[in-house]
Amino acid sequence: MHNSYTSSRVRRRRDLSHSSSNSILIWQSTVWRSRIIILLLLMGFLAVFIRAFYLQHLDVDTWKKRAITRYTETQPIPAARGKILDRNGEILAVSTLEFKVGIVPNRFSPNSKQINDFAKLIGKSPEDIIKKHQNSKKYFYISSGVNPNIKNQIKNLGVSGIEFEQIYQRNYPYKDAFSTLLGLTSETDKGQDGVEFAFDDQLRGVQGLRFIHVERGNIAFDEKILKEPAPGNDVHLSIDASMQSMVYKNALIAKHKHNAKSVSVVVVDSRSGDILAMVNAPAFDPGKRKNLSLDDIRNRSVTDSFEPGSTFKPFAIAAALDKGLVEPLTIIDTSPGYIKLNGEILRDFKPFGILSVSDVLAKSSNVGTVRVALKLNPSHMYDYYQTLGFGKSPNLPLGGLAKGRLSPWQSWDKVTRATISYGHGVSVSLAQLAQAYTVFARSGDLIPISLLKSNFKRRGIQVFSNESIMSVRFMLERASSSFGTGVKAQVDGFRIAGKTGTAQKAENGGYSKNRYIASFVGIAPLDNPRFVIAVMVDEPKGVRTGGQVAAPIFSKIASDALTRLQMSPNQPKQVLPKTAFLKSSSR
């Protein structure tokens, strides 16, 4: 029993010893675990501290950039486009300051009176504004543009969440009258056609820059101007606004009267070469830009070429006079009303019989012109035409300039030489034709036409002798009298000179039988030439000759232009005898 008791005590001591040992081990394990956790916490805290220190003191610029990228924006500030002005400083195109109106949805909370007043100011219904506001979570525009006065009235409503973005709208005070000349600008204010496109670099200003805050896609109020915008430069044209308006009105009337496809007119100051008017009808309203086509906006006076017909005849006559091959009273036999060349028959519209050179031009005889032109060396004839500017684009700062067609003289046979002399087989633009006629308004020198106002005198290129020009000028006066085809071009109280043209339009390798170009180019007044006026009517219906269609347009425009200048009429006009024509001297 004693042994049993002893054995039990030993076992109990062994169990207690083992239990104590386990407790010590558990305690030691817990202490190390706590220490490890505390160490890990200390290390985590240290890492956070080091990271925070790094971000706040060592990597500030990087995080500033990220914040700026996320919560701020830089936006361009539009610059005012330069004005386009006429020769007298009249505004033809101007950019006016306006403001787009936007709404920040989570800030916009007007009362009923405010919403009604706001809607009235921007021309919307309150219901439309409320509906758009309810359906929008991001910033949106509610009006495309209001003037500064309306902007201030909106601000005075005291409604939060309304913001304004500065824009410029391009306005054209003379609307249709200048549209095909000036062109227009895009929604981004870039020139797209005409003068706006040609001088875009000069007219376009330099944009400014602003710094703004962005909050969840909504633009905040505060902003900082980083760079002020710089406005564009003005462009001064040679055009006279009042004359352009008058010419456009007459061109439009003529288009409707003759149910024509188009009417184009170019008016040039023959003393300086300044273009005073360049008009096309139809034109377009620059305020209504939807669905515009190239046909609507193109400047036909410079982009379209056509066969000039009889308006080309004075150049061949002048060249022959200048070379001493004929004189004004040289007799030309046009019988029997046609001429055969290389199997081709070239006709007059009626037989004229025996004519002097001066009468050939006045009566507009194709046969007589051909007989005179065939006396010229082809290379000489070509040189005259090239010097007059045919076959090459006029030096005008406009896009799409037509250079026309003038084939090299080496390819000319007799028929080509003949048809070119009376304006077939060659094509020109109306601007080219107006420029070429300055030689008849001056002393035989060609002055380059210009669209820009200049204080410098331009120098002309001598093409014909003054004696030859004086002879042709008198011939052109007879051509515009009751003796010639252009009697309807006459202007009450003034002597004028000019030439009619009627040409069938080229079609499918030949000529149309019912589509014509009617034209007239003239000088006014003849005693002291001031204007060269070129008129082209495309596809008039009914009457279709230059004398019936284009000459009256010239008469009305010349009459109005001379009246505006308050030029004194001539003394009662006397009929010029044939002996009044000066003889030309060979050069």
Residue of 95, 310, 471, 519 marked catalytic: 310
Query: Over 90: is that where the pLDDT of 340 sits?
Result: yes
Query: Over 80: is that where the pLDDT of 535 sits?
Result: yes
C-alpha separations of 232 from 11, 76, 201, 452, 572 in Å: 109, 16, 9, 17, 53
- pLDDT per residue over 238-292, tens digit each? 999 999 999 999 999 999 999 999 999 999 999 999 999 999 999 999 888 777 7
What average pLDDT does the structure give for the chain?
87
Question: What distance in Å separates the CA atoms of residue 284 and residue 22, rounded to the nearest whole number?
Answer: 103
The percent of residues above 90 in pLDDT, for the chain, comes to 64
User: What pLDDT does 585 receive?
Assistant: 31
Q: Is 345 helix (H, G, I), strand (E, B) or coil?
A: strand
- pLDDT band, very low/low/confident/very high, at 579 (cuts 50, 70, 90): very low
- Please indicate whether residue 310 is annotated as part of the active site: yes
Question: What distance in Å separates the CA atoms of residue 560 and residue 553, rounded to the nearest whole number?
Answer: 11
- pLDDT band, very low/low/confident/very high, at 578 (cuts 50, 70, 90): very low
User: What pLDDT does 2 receive?
Assistant: 53
User: What pLDDT does 502 receive?
Assistant: 95
Are 205 and 79 in contact, with CB atoms under 8 Å apart?
yes
* Averaged pLDDT for residues 140-152: 89
Query: Torsion over CA of 369, 434, 529 and 481, rounded to 10 degrees?
Result: 40
User: What pLDDT does 385 receive?
Assistant: 98
User: What pLDDT does 289 receive?
Assistant: 76
Q: Which of the pair, 69 or 241, is modelled with greater confidence?
A: 241
Q: Which of the pair, 272 or 74, is modelled with greater confidence?
A: 272
Side chain identity, residue 18: H
DSSP 8-state symbol, 12: H
- pLDDT band, very low/low/confident/very high, at 56 (cuts 50, 70, 90): low
* Averaged pLDDT for residues 544-566: 94
Query: Over 80: is that where the pLDDT of 561 sits?
Result: yes
Using CB atoms within 10 A of its CB, is residue 90 exposed (0-12), middle (13-18) or buried (19+)? middle
- pLDDT band, very low/low/confident/very high, at 13 (cuts 50, 70, 90): low
- pLDDT band, very low/low/confident/very high, at 57 (cuts 50, 70, 90): low
Helix (H) or strand (E) holding 42: helix 2-53
User: What pLDDT does 446 receive?
Assistant: 97
- pLDDT band, very low/low/confident/very high, at 577 (cuts 50, 70, 90): very low
CA angle 237, 239, 241 (to 5 degrees): 115
Q: What is the pTM of this model?
A: 0.82
The percent of residues above 70 in pLDDT, for the chain, comes to 86
